[in-house]
Amino acid sequence: MNKKIYLFCSAGMSTSLLANKMQSVANNFKLPVEVEAYSYSEIDNIVKEKNPNCILLGPQVKYMLDEVKATYDSIVPVAVIDSKDYGAMDGEKVLKMAVKMIKERSVK
């Protein structure tokens, strides 16, 4: 079963570039992962309809972290993408972070 890693930012544009890089890395390593990017305004619907395994916020919406954690952290791990990794579009590093978050949550 694919693990769903969803990225959210203001419009979903730059984040979709990172999501594509993350998906390429996952495909290269044959990881059962689905990486997608959305606008933050869609987060409630996306979480309800698609049940992600990990929510990552783009650095430009990190001010929303507390609110998103308060709403969703009980059901899915939530974090902000490191701004250096985001700026470098380091899909492998961000993917590793997301996979680690999912594994740590499943151990609890």
Catalytic residues: 9
Cα 94 to Cα 71: distance, rounded to the nearest angstrom: 23
Cα 18 to Cα 55: distance, rounded to the nearest angstrom: 14
Supply φ then ψ for residue 3, to 5 degrees: -85, 135
Query: What single-letter amino acid sits at 32?
Result: P
